[in-house]
Amino acid sequence: MHVVCSHCRTVNRVPDERAAQDPVCGHCGRTLLDGHPVELTDDNFDAVISRSDLPIVVDFWAAWCGPCRMMAPQFEQAARALKGRALLAKVDTDASPLVAGRFGIRSIPTLVKLQGGRELDRVSGAMQAAQILSWVK
């Protein structure tokens, strides 16, 4: 499978059986799939989502949003549970207004499920880790 490094935007080939074993980027050496959400911005969003083979779940959030802050630990927990099977990412809508606008984000938190750069599904509102896992599968 192909996984794009969110730090240097290098496309890495990762054997399926090694996806859950903390593979690192062949260019910059940073961990690709460490079980934590990656930060996406207006600058790196397209490179990461369009060339990664894994399903990607994006949490559109903002620092001032109470429900977003409540859901953050749940999203972290879901990222650990889905390690190697999906890439969970966060987009700060205040810091990345172009991506948020392109996806028509009107309320936060909003989760968007992507595969091959295309949106498959979305849901708005804070969720528990079990709900996120159920929704992703």
Catalytic site residues? 65, 68
How far apart CA 24 and CA 22 sit, in angstroms, is 6
**Which of 132, 24, 134 minimizes the C-alpha distance to 79?**
132
Q: What are the DSSP calls for 2-36, one per residue?
A: EEE-TTT--EEE--GGGTTS--B-TTT--BS-SSS
Measure the N-to-C terminal CA separation of the chain; round to a whole number of Å. 19
